[in-house]
Amino acid sequence: MKNLQILIICCLFGFLLSTTSCEKEITHTKIEGRILEYGSGLPLEGAKVVLSRASTGNPNGQLHYSGQDTLITGKDGCYHFDFEHDNNSTLFLFVYKENYFDYENDFLSSITTYRDHFIDPHAYLHLHVKNVNPVDDGDRIRLGGGGDVFHGINIDKIIIEKRRGNRQNDLTWYVEKNSQGSTFHQSFYLLAHDTTYYEIFY
């Protein structure tokens, strides 16, 4: 009987240890700052800020996101999250706003931090591409390293590219005629929410 009592006590003790070891470590985290426009530093009102927790709970190691909290910024562009979570995950901040590129940033999951985030505004490059000195059907132009390619003598195209505003943007194109090729380069400063017009006549 005494041995049975000792066995029962040992089993209970082992169960308590295993239960305690499986408990998740809880961390209190505060994340705050401002959502600003890249280049101008203006605060962005009406930006949707989503704080998500990511973990690798599946065998292939892919991140699994679960919603943590969501808010919409006011005129000052400020965001603030104050919460508790388990310490076995990484926190990601997503920002969405019309006429801006989507934004993602990851945080260490056990810190209190203040951080401003700069969001890229849309800008547009309006290109008029035209073969004004045609040679033959072997004429060719390629925009960018892997962009549009046009062949022939009757090329007259309008191309509108969405790009990141309030920053320098580069454009490269390659022209081939009479089996001779040349590469050209142009740099633009594209203003936010504006359209820059450029002609490529070759």
- Residue 1 in this model has a pLDDT that exceeds 70: no
**pLDDT score at 133:** 95
**pLDDT score at 22:** 45
Distance CA 53, CA 63 (A): 9
For domain 122-201, which CATH number applies: 2.30.30, 3.10.100, 2.60.40, 1.10.3470?
Answer: 2.60.40
**Lowest-confidence pick of 65-79, 98-112, 126-140, 167-181:** 98-112
Q: What is the pLDDT of residues 188-198, one digit of tens each?
A: 999 999 999 99
pTM value?
0.79
Q: What is the pLDDT of residues 89-128, one digit of tens each?
A: 778 899 999 999 999 988 765 566 889 999 999 999 999 9
Q: What is the pLDDT of residues 14-59, one digit of tens each?
A: 444 444 444 556 777 888 999 999 999 999 999 999 998 876 655 5
**pLDDT score at 13:** 43
Q: What is the pLDDT of residues 146-174, one digit of tens each?
A: 788 999 999 999 999 999 999 999 999 99
The answer to whether the CB of 149 falls within 8 A of the CB of 141 is yes
**pLDDT score at 193:** 98
Least Cα distance to 176 among 146, 133, 147 occurs for 133
Q: Into which CATH architecture does domain 25-119 fall? A: Sandwich (2.60)
Domain with CATH 2.60.40.10 in the chain: 25-119
Least Cα distance to 191 among 74, 72, 42 occurs for 42
**pLDDT score at 162:** 97
CA dist 112 → 66, 83, 89, 91 (Å): 21, 11, 15, 12
Distance CA 15, CA 65 (A): 32
Q: How confident is the model at residue 144 (pLDDT cuts 50, 70, 90)?
A: confident
Tokens of 195: 């359209």
Least Cα distance to 202 among 159, 173, 161 occurs for 173
